[in-house]
Structure 1
């Protein structure tokens, strides 16, 4: 199977306990691999399976600018990445 790679291009959220969470699988019961808040641009995240679940929570208390991300599908053993 293929792996999923997420690259964050822009990340500007409010600081809170309910930050953006990235799971290695298709739901919140999968392994949590990353948790991001604030304005620091996260590093790339690579799933070990062919699915990734991203949970994003925001409200109107603080206005952040945005989240922009790109995801790629990589097939193990191939030299190049295929855009999905």
Structure 2
């Protein structure tokens, strides 16, 4: 499996929500493909297996905020 080289600077320039969406999409793809989640490259450019608990907590918060934003957006479109 060939992996695209991670560009941490390019990711840092992306809007926060886009980073969360990219991480969520990568997680879904890894699960579908049977890839170990520990091999996922996180927004800080490190594989998940090399991230600290604090870093993982930050990523979790990022995903939660994006999820809340998406729920509000979907609720607004249903009205």
Q: TM-score scaled by structure 2?
A: 0.25
Q: Which has the higher helix share?
A: 2
Structure with greater contact order relative to length (CA < 8 Å, sep ≥ 6): 1
Q: Which has the higher strand share?
A: 1
